[in-house]
Amino acid sequence: MLTALRRTPKSVARSATEFTATGASTRPGARQRPASANRFAAGAVFGEDLYDHISGEIRYLYHDGHAFLSADGVKTDMQGQSHTFTYDLLFHLNDREHRLRPFFAAGGGAKGYVVAGPAPFPQPLPNIATLRTVDEWKPVISLGGGLKFTLYKNIVLRADFRDFLTTFPRRQIVPAANGTARGIFQQFTPFFGVSYTF
């Protein structure tokens, strides 16, 4: 992942792994597990660190993964990825004079679930839900925390852990007739990176 701060990080190489995304769609007498099978994540951060204990960041994150649906031992998927744009406030426990700065983060923005392949044909679970080739954008909440460590002058090492929360993408995972979609998709994402501050 790339990071830039003023007393700002500016892009330098950062990558991450996305762990899970879950939610639930139900229909009378049946349950399914829609989720996103995730492979990796990468992105960039640009921020301003103007105050001792509060800073702000604009973040872009690319998650490489795909939507899948499973029920009763049957699993089907559809290639895709997601793009997340957020603005986060960071609340630092130590001021800017400390080399080690733990922080909590909270923010919001938008997340797009983007399809990159065809829908399964035939759909193996039409009585539960159907995967559709429809890109869908959702409001997202970003929560988490991390550590910044000043290695040398303007070089900062950084470790973050975030949870990206959206509502159920019901245009992409469509419940069967008389079914309902509910739940929150969570994507737990650890990041490790290097920042350059100027």
Per-residue pLDDT of 147-187, as tens digits, reads 999 998 888 899 999 999 998 888 877 777 777 767 788 88
Is pLDDT above 90 for 104?
yes
Whole-number Å distance between alpha carbons of 27 and 3: 44
Residue 34 pLDDT: 53
Q: What is the mean pLDDT of residues 104-132?
A: 84
Q: Tell which wins on pLDDT, 58 or 118.
A: 58
In three-state secondary structure terms, 123 is coil
Residue 38 pLDDT: 63
- β-partners of residue 161 are 145, 190
Q: Give the model's confidence band at 35: pLDDT under 50 very low, under 70 low, under 90 confident, else very high.
A: low
Q: Are 140 and 111 in contact (CB under 8 A)?
A: yes
Whole-number Å distance between alpha carbons of 87 and 56: 7
Residue 36 pLDDT: 58
Mean of all residue pLDDT scores within the chain: 77
Is pLDDT above 50 for 26?
no
Q: Which own/partner contact pairs does 180-186 have at CB distance under 8 Å and 24+ positions apart?
A: 180/25, 180/26, 180/27, 181/23, 181/25, 181/129, 182/23, 182/24, 182/25, 182/26, 183/22, 183/23, 183/24, 183/25, 184/23, 185/21, 185/22, 185/23, 185/35, 185/36, 186/20, 186/21, 186/22
Is pLDDT above 90 for 88?
yes
Residue 174 pLDDT: 78
Q: State how many domains the chain has.
A: 1
In three-state secondary structure terms, 93 is coil
b/e map of 166-193 (b: 16 or more CB within 10 Å)?
bebbbebbbbbeebebeeebbbbbebeb
Is pLDDT above 80 for 64?
yes
pTM score, two decimals?
0.75
Q: Tell which wins on pLDDT, 197 or 166.
A: 166
Q: Give the model's confidence band at 3: pLDDT under 50 very low, under 70 low, under 90 confident, else very high.
A: very low
Range(s) of the domain holding residue 50: 2-197
Looking up residue 15, the CATH number of its domain turns out to be 2.40.160.20
pLDDT over 70, % of the chain: 80
Return the structure tokens found at 164. Answer: 């990206």
Q: Give the model's confidence band at 17: pLDDT under 50 very low, under 70 low, under 90 confident, else very high.
A: very low
In three-state secondary structure terms, 169 is coil
